[in-house]
Amino acid sequence: MYEHDVIVVGAGGAGLRAAIAAHEEGADVAIVSKLHPVRSHTGAAEGGINAALREGDSWKDHAYDTMKGSDYLGDAPAVETLCKDSPKETIQLEHWGMAFSRDDDGRVSQRPFGGLSFPRTTYAGAETGHQLLHTMYEQLVKRGIKVYDEWHVTRLAVSDEDDPEDRTCHGIVAYDVQTGKIEAFRARNGVILATGGLGQVYDHTTNAVANTGDGVAMAYRAGAPIEDMEFIQFHPTTLPSTGVLITEGVRGEGGILYNKHGERFMFEYGYANNLGELASRDVVSRAELTEVNEGRGIEDEYVHLDMRHLGEERIVDRLENIIHLSEDFEGVNPLEAPMPVKPGQHYAMGGVETDENGETCITGLYAAGECACASVHGGNRLGGNALPELIVFGKRAGHHAAGKDMKEAEITTGKVGDYELADVESPVQLGEAGLGGDAVADGGERTDGGATADLSGDEVVQRALDDERETIEHLLEKEDGIQHAEIRERVQKSMTQHVNVFREEEALKDALRDIREARELYQDVYVADKSRTFNTDLLQTLETRNILDIAEAITVGALARNEFRGAHWRKEYQERRDEEWLKHTMLSWNDGEPELWYKPVILEGENKTYEPKIRSY
């Protein structure tokens, strides 16, 4: 059994920043990641980091833009924390040597981005995430922080008290991809989940193959509530053939969207009469799909993004990698012709419920970055707010887990205070149909009836290790059945068809039926590759379980929320309903039977209350 004070799961931007912060507080910290740190998906982030750095801008303006962009579903303490801390953290990156783009006078460059009232997006060409990742990895190496890379975390070791608020996370269980060993990691102070996105729930996504929602699913099954899962961001400019992202920076520099008639439709059809292409992402994505659905799309699939008028010198200087992406994946040189683009799944606004210090309701369990929900982004994330989320909340989670004395959080977690229980009219049974009827896969109640509430931390971790070894042996010993790829493909296609930008009640119910069928099929899943090393078949089978839980959570939340807010559009309810729906959608696993409940949004900030207004761009 490996042992450290703080264990960080995931080595992207949030994980690296959390580990550095915990180390700064004197903790013995280690990162456990299924990828080498510089292969993390943070490296694919192109756009930039929103930070109020210049005269004429302020964190308060940034907070207002963020709250407006969230469609007033962001929690003010988290929003204001992000906007206050981002300038300092951005300057810290610069001091660590991050190669930001510069103006002629030597200042760090900032560009306009969607939904912003000031050009506050700091960037490094069109490869900001790549630069950020390598800058922080250098700091990791400098500090000698231990990294267990290519260790796939499969289970949290959590005690099983009846109320999740009474549970404690003592560590994790992980599979060593290189050797096939399954080992336990004991965390004396805390476990920080920084596992990134969940885009593989969909078949057209900007997310890497590794983004299967592992942290969200493990925390959910261990008893931590998950929040606002229905809010999925579809980025308006992805390449049709692959889902590869074309940065919002193209539009920030002045790129223009056209339909097949050559009309600048964002203005021509009144989708965003003021900001046009730089409206928030949900607005632009809906506009593009409306153009396609009404027959003005190109090949009934996409629209054109044109940046030729910017000139070759400016494009090469600020957007060079976009040229290569377009040429390599679509065969289009954007210096000579417009690029084909369409909306693709990009980001999850929801995730594991946390406060502004990254704490969940389970003692010793933290989350930061895309897998967490504080809630900073509410119903819709603004471009340029994801990377500061990583560094701001990664740092805070690392400090808190390492024992730093911090201000008490204003956001509560778990079923405390003012919350309401609810139901959803599902056409099928929801919840558990895992491996061999294992009702709680990551802690909680054991299938043999044993309890962990009275065990020591070491014993809880050992028992989780024993359970995980049994699960994996079962998979490897099974000789026939259905393979994960067929199950995963069914879910991905259903989610893309039924739980996309435009949502309808019957389509959402069809998705739940498809997910139920996939859950039943998963009971008979087996692993064809019986090898013990680099067994991607085994790992993807385990990931598919996470995809099932996440897909169901997204769809349940979408079916329950009878309104149009942010990225969540319902055909039957095409208006925002503040009197009823200024609240967060919460789901708790409840021993394999998902429980729906709500908690109110916090709109009271430090010096003001963010009054909901009509959101227009």
Active-site amino acid positions = 281
Token pair belonging to 4? 């450290």
Other C-beta atoms lying within 10 Å of the C-beta of residue 436 = 11
Query: Distance of CA 597 to CAs 158, 417, 560, 586, 610, Å?
Result: 23, 13, 10, 5, 24
SS3 sequence of 445-483: CCCCCCCCCCCCHHHHHHHHHHHHHHHHHHHHHCCCCEC
Nearest Cα residue to 252 out of 379, 98, 110, 387 = 110
Respond yes or no on whether the N-terminal peptide bond of residue 285 is cis (omega within 30° of 0): no
Query: Distance of CA 356 to CAs 167, 233, 418, 551, 586, Å?
Result: 20, 22, 18, 26, 17
* Gyration radius of the chain's alpha carbons: 23
Element (H, E) at 79: helix 76-95
Q: Are 182 and 174 in contact (CB under 8 A)?
A: yes
Give the distance from CA 605 to its chain's centroid.
24
d(C-alpha 282, C-alpha 287), whole Å: 9
Beta partners for residue 265, in sequence order: none
What's the angle, vertex CA 225, arms to CA 513 and CA 13, rounded to 5?
A: 100
